[in-house]
Structure 1
Amino acid sequence: MSGGPVSGGPVSGVPVPAERRGRPRSAAVDRAVIETVLRLLEDGVTVAELSMERIAREAGVGKATVYRRWAGKEALMLDVLRSLDDSAPELAGGPARDDLVALLEFLRRRGLAKRSSAVLRTAVAQVRAHPRLWQEYHDTVVAARRRAFHEVLRRGMAAGEIRADLDVDLLTDLFVSPMLSRAILHDWQELPEGLAEQIVDAVLEGVRASPADGPGDSPGSSGPAVPGRKS
């Protein structure tokens, strides 16, 4: 993520929920509602204290207008979080290393944005305090990011770039965990440029297929990982 919205600034790239039949939606209304929620969170209002009625009133729109766009507060809060997130990077589809670097660089920039944006930190903390809402965010946004890693890893296995006897879910953790550890668990550590490349190259050195291995016959097997390099 390349810097998230700053306090009090307009939200760009606000996701538009699925269209319903009828009149075209107003993007301005969508932005007004989401910006209102962000402002309330920044002012110290908790998710539990928010109601669709209060959000509508603060945004200067009717309650029915809000409900036409979001079925309830949880759906609205998911779009609030998405509004603070850049779109996932476009992947070149070439060597697996390049796409893995792009995906990790996205996480690095998002980590930097979370450190510098008080509103992003507040919104994430508020959502994490509500397990069902956090699970929904994880099942949609976070799961989509992991699927992107899985697809790149399977492609790398099929191309003979990565050993095919390893589980893609485990491999994803090997690539992602060092970045998340610095960004979240050890947030005093720097997230310098080039970190994504360092992580990818270090992990690839250990999981790269040897010439004798050849392309994987069954990339992305969901079975247990087999330790050690093939002989």
Structure 2
Amino acid sequence: MTGEQRAHTGRRRNEEARRAVLDAALRLLADADGAAVSVDAIAKEAGVGKQTLYRWWPSKGAVLLDALTDRAEQAAPVPDSGTLRADLRAVVAATFEGAQRAPVAPALRSLVREAAHDPRLAELMREFTGARRTALREVLERGQRRGELPADRDLDLMVDQVYGVFWYRFLLGHAPLGEAEAVRLADSLIAQGS
């Protein structure tokens, strides 16, 4: 149904139209190969009017941030199984796997390239990565409260280790980002805390 006009929903946010906009933004960003994606193009691809985007989001960047955040929350939710090892393995594996799926992988790579030249997009990328860091930190804090990590453990450094490995491998592609690597990384972080 890409590009088909959707029924006007007025000022009320329509979830079907919202999903269409978020999906369209990711698709277009993935296909853009570093070129800018316009609000007009997102609206046309989603089958909504341009005014819908401006009514619901303050900027094109806000649409892209919402799309990435939404996809990340779907792909890598924050589990609470009762054990740090299981939760950390799950979050890291879901992050690695979810970021490599289309259209997220090319969209993320395009955003990183664009953010290098656009301070507004760079700020949106900081917001996006900050939200993902906070989600991972919640998992570590729960483990710390349960006594699975020492109280003096530097949780921010642990988060940096996970996302440092992720971004380095994701952007350079020099080594895999699979489930086996996620499990080894999670286990090594827990072992460092013992």
Same fold (TM over 0.5): yes
The one-letter code matched in structure 1 to 2:182 is A
Task: Tell me the TM-score normalized by structure 2.
Answer: 0.73
Per the alignment, residue 191 of structure 2 pairs with 205
> What displacement does 1:68 show?
1.7
**How far apart, CA to CA, are the structure 2 residues paired with 1:104 and 1:169?**
15
Structure 1: which 5+ runs fail to align?
1-8, 11-20, 209-231
After superposition, the Cα gap between the structure-2 partners of 1:109 and 1:40, relative to the gap in structure 1 and judged at 3 Å, is closer
Cross-structure match for 2:114: 126
Residues 1:145 and 2:121 aligned together:
no
Structure-1 separation of matches of 2:113 and 2:132: 20
Gaps spanning 5+ residues in structure 2: where?
3-9
Closer, same or farther in 2 for the Cα pair 1:192/1:73, shift >3 Å?
closer
Give the distance between the partners of 2:139 and 2:32, measured in 1 at CA. Answer: 41
Equivalent in the alignment of 2:168: 181
Residue 113 of structure 1 is aligned with which of 101, 106, 119?
A: 101
Distance 1:188 1:66 in 2: 38
Larger helix proportion of the pair: 2
* TM-score, normalised by the number of residues in structure 1: 0.63
Q: 1:158 to 1:60 in 2, by over 3 A?
A: closer
Once the two structures are TM-superposed, the CA of residue 84 in structure 1 deviates from its matched residue by: 5.0
Which letter maps to 1:122?
A: S
The reply to whether residue 27 of structure 1 matches residue 16 of structure 2 is yes
**Partner Cα distance (1:30, 1:116) in 2:** 15
Indicate conservation of the 8 Å contact 2:149/2:190, yes or no.
yes
Alignment of 1:9-158 (within 5 A): 22-23=11-12, 25=14, 27-28=16-17, 31=20, 35=24, 38-39=27-28, 42-43=31-32, 46-47=35-36, 50=38, 52-53=39-40, 55-56=42-43, 61-82=48-69, 85=72, 87=74, 88-113=76-101, 117-139=105-127, 141-158=128-145
Map of 1:192 onto structure 2: 178
Distance in 2, Cα, partners of 1:37 & 1:115: 6
Residues in 1 aligned to 2:26 and 2:163: alpha-carbon distance in whole angstroms: 30
Query: Quick check: 143-152 or 108-117, which moved more?
Result: 108-117
Residues 56, 66 of structure 1: 8 Å contact kept: yes
Larger radius of gyration: 1
Percent identical across equivalent pairs?
Answer: 30
Letter of the 2:95 counterpart = L
CA shift, 1:137, in A, is: 3.2
* Number of aligned positions between the proteins: 187
Which residue identity is paired with 2:27? L
Query: What is the one-letter code of the residue matched to 1:76?
Result: V
